[in-house]
Amino acid sequence: MTSPDSSARPTGNRWLILVAAILLQLALGAVYAWSVFSKALKEPQAFGWSAAQAAVPFTVCIGMIFVGSYVGGLIQDRKGPRLVALVGGVIYSVGVILASFAQTKDSLWLLVLGYGVLGGFGLGMGYIVPIAMLQKWFPDKPGLITGLAVGGFGFGAVITAPLGQALIDNDPSVPTKAFLPLGIGYLVAVLIGGSFFRNPPAGYRPPGAPLPAADEPAAPAADATTPPVAVTTDYTTAQALRTPQWYLLTAILTLSVVAGISFIGVAASSMTDVAGMSAAGAATLVGVLGLFNGGGRIFWGWISDKIGKMPAFMGILGIQGVCLLILPHASNAVLFAILAAAIYTCYGGGFGTMPSTAGRFFGVTNAGAIYGLMLIAWSIGGVIGPTVITKIIGAEKAYTAGFTVVGIIALAGILLTLVTKPHRKVEVAEKV
């Protein structure tokens, strides 16, 4: 029996499918350039929105990702990756295009509907697809490959931040006009990338790949009175949700998201207010930092295969926490950029590491739905983080208080990594 969008023999080069996945993620990852648009929307010559108003579309977008990822994950596990990727990508692109028609100060609702609701939902649908699909194509290197896939998402801001700023500069009084050409570009990218998606046949393993290492302890040996037992790693969604590990992993990802996205949401403004950069310089740095967001997903995904998943998350949370505590005191632009790069690297690392962690804990058969549900962490963190830090910073620009609170939250998350261990799933077989 084969899986959806597959054939009895693997069709297509798995590395080509990886490239297609990265192309799709590049378009979706443009969301991380939001601080460039947020800053433009707050300018007096544009809409003159408050920081809270300018944060709403981004917050709604991140909040909707979980809904899209869960729906997409369920459909993908049944119908295959290509359909979900194409539908999600189109919804995302249409949402961004719709956002371009929010051209007055009173049209915040339209920006929220297009960029926030539609954009976030489509983004979630598209984002979950490569993560679940590629773990099936690359069972021999799950951390590295999912890191590469979501690395493309992090790199999306590298392209969009400077391009978006250039488009805004064409008409700074209506910065939302920039979304029209961007949305069209995203549509082309997702249609090309998603058209290559397919699952491998059930049980596919690339030639020469070693058998996966067992994560659970061996099952007790059977005796004359005990029926044989088998330790399995593939959980259904319902089974995964009945384990404490699913909630611990989700909590770890939530705290990592809170730490990183709090900074990302105010990155451009903090660069000018704390480090004294120009608007153009801040936009350029936001784009450059996308390299670290993407690179962190690849690096931490790879290193987690070497040092272990929980040690990796200890590093991810610890580095973010320390950097956030130091950041508001970094008036030197170079030091600020270094600290910001470390935060982006670790923030991206959480998304690069968690997919393979979930796959190792729960198996990859139902990875779409299980990890799709786990992405509620992205939505919770994406709502809490920007809301809290924007409220604390406020009109007084209290960056020290804001970054200190978030930094402490990240450091506290290390405690969760110390108590999170794989769960052994035992299925009792019939007596022979």
Query: For the purposes of burial, counting CB atoms within 10 Å of the CB of 420, is it exposed (0-12), middle (13-18) or buried (19 or more)?
Result: buried
CA atoms of 67 and 54, how far apart (whole Å)? 22
Residue that wins the pLDDT comparison between 428 and 156: 156
The predicted model gives 33-37 an average pLDDT of: 84
pLDDT tens figures, 64-111: 888 898 888 788 878 889 999 999 999 999 999 999 999 988 899 999
Q: Is the pLDDT of residue 196 over 70?
A: yes
Tell me the torsion sign for CA atoms 323, 329, 332, 333. Answer: positive
Taking 50 as the threshold, does the pLDDT of residue 379 lie above it? yes
Where do runs of H (alpha helix) occur along 195-332? 237-241, 244-265, 267-273, 279-307, 309-326
Non-local CB neighbours of 349 within 8 Å, separated by 6+ positions: 296, 297, 299, 300, 301, 312, 316
Collect all residues with Cβ–Cβ distance below 8 Å to 418 and sequence separation of at least 6: 310, 314
Tell me which of 3.60.15.10, 1.10.3720.10, 1.20.1250.20, 3.40.50.300 is the CATH number of domain 14-203+231-428. 1.20.1250.20
Of residues 72 and 122, the one with the higher pLDDT is 122
Between CA 122 and CA 109 the distance in angstroms is 18
Residue 35 contacts residue 163 (beta carbons within 8 Å): no
pTM of the model: 0.73
Q: Residue 421 half-sphere exposure, CB side, CA atoms within 13 Å?
A: 5
Higher confidence at residue 430 or residue 88? 88
pLDDT of residue 70: 83
For 216-238, write each residue's pLDDT tens digit: 433 344 443 434 333 346 888 88
% of the chain at pLDDT higher than 70: 88
Mean pLDDT on 47-57: 86
Angle at 132 between CA 9 and CA 246, to 5 degrees: 140
3-state SS of 99-135 is HCCCCCCCCHHHHHHHHHHHHHHHHHHHHHHHHHHHH
pLDDT per position as a tens digit, 237-269: 889 999 999 999 999 999 999 999 889 878 878
pLDDT value at position 165?
A: 87
pLDDT band at 156 (very low <50, low <70, confident <90, very high): confident
